[in-house]
Amino acid sequence: MPLTGHCLCKAVTYSVDIEQPLMTGYDHCDDCQRQTGSSYSLIALVPKEKLRIYGDIKRWAGTGGSGNVVYRVFCPQCGSPIAHEPNSNPAISFLKAGTLDMEIKETLRPVRITRKILEASQG
Ligand SMILES: [Zn+2]
């Protein structure tokens, strides 16, 4: 079963052709706090080549903690964040795991994010 999810208004849906994320974790970085308005963002690391996004999205290029560009992918209709993608590692995407379908969210096993993953996340 692929991983599937959608934004709040369902104008944007996505599917990832894998059984489980490569990693799921809590990202407490300042950028994720601002984007979500929460104290952290639950992120699910997936290979970008397996990710298909349907519907119109916007990509905002911000600067990550390392000074490199990080794209913030979101629905322009409802504003839901869908993913963030470090320009320095075009092979990966960090899905905003709260947008996954409910039955998938219930199977996630978040881990503490290591510095290495956090640095990869921030470009
Ligand atoms: Zn939407």
Q: Residue 103: give its domain's CATH number.
A: 2.170.150.70
Render pLDDT for 30-88 as a digit per residue (tens, 0 to 9).
888 888 888 888 999 999 999 999 999 999 999 887 788 999 999 999 999 999 999 98
| Residue 54 lies in domain | 3-121
Q: What number is the average pLDDT over the span 78-104?
A: 95
Strands 23-27 and 41-47, bridge-based pairing:
antiparallel
Looking at residue 36, its pLDDT comes to: 86
- How far is Cα 19 from Cα 32, in angstroms, rounded to an integer? 25
Q: How far is the CA of 55 from the centre of ligand 1 (A)?
A: 9
Alpha-carbon span 55 to 41, nearest angstrom: 23
Per the structure, the count of domains in the chain is 1
**pLDDT of 123 above 70:** no
The stretch 1-25 carries a mean pLDDT of: 96
Distance 80 CA to ligand 1 centre (A): 6
CA of residue 76 to ligand 1 center, whole Å: 7
- What is the whole-number distance in angstroms between the Cα of residue 72 and the centre of ligand 1? 14
CB under 5 Å of ion ligand 1: residues? 7, 9, 11, 75, 77-78
